[in-house]
Amino acid sequence: MRRGKKDNNHDAIVGAFEAVGCTVAQMHAAGVPGFPDVVVGCAGADRMCEIKNPDSRYGKAGLNANQSAFARDWRGGRIWVVTSPDEALALVQNWRKQK
């Protein structure tokens, strides 16, 4: 089983979600190919988020093959891509408006 690595911005993004009252399950090491990095509980719903670091070559490349296949085949909700704490906070604001 391959364990995923955290992006350099992972902890800051998780911290941003938690700072505004979200719960976060960190899944980057779950061992399921392509599974998103975190599951965020917010406004009565669970949302899966893939964290990407736009400052790295790997992050700039977008979703890898496993992540793309997981997102394509997933029969649940959308897979969100988050690249910064500010982006995480904007998502939370939007999710709370949709409640």
CATH code, 40:
3.40.1350.10
**Whole-prediction pTM value?**
0.91
- Residue 66 is assigned to a structural domain of this protein: yes
What residue type is assigned to position 24 of the chain? Answer: V
How many domains does the chain fold into? 1
- Residue 98 is assigned to a structural domain of this protein: no
- Residue 3 is assigned to a structural domain of this protein: no
User: Which of 2-23 are b and which e, b meaning 16 or more Cβ less than 10 Å from the residue's Cβ?
Assistant: eebebbebbeebbebbeeeebe
- Residue 74 is assigned to a structural domain of this protein: yes
- Residue 17 is assigned to a structural domain of this protein: yes
The helix/strand/coil state of 29 is coil
The whole-angstrom separation of Cα 97 and Cα 89 is 13
CA-to-CA separations, 22 to 12, 15, 38, 55, in angstroms, rounded: 14, 9, 12, 25
pLDDT tens for the chain, residues 1 to 99: 445 679 999 999 999 999 999 999 999 888 899 999 999 999 999 999 999 999 998 888 999 999 999 999 999 999 999 999 999 999 999 999 986
Structural domain boundaries enclosing 21: 10-92
- Residue 99 is assigned to a structural domain of this protein: no
- Residue 44 is assigned to a structural domain of this protein: yes
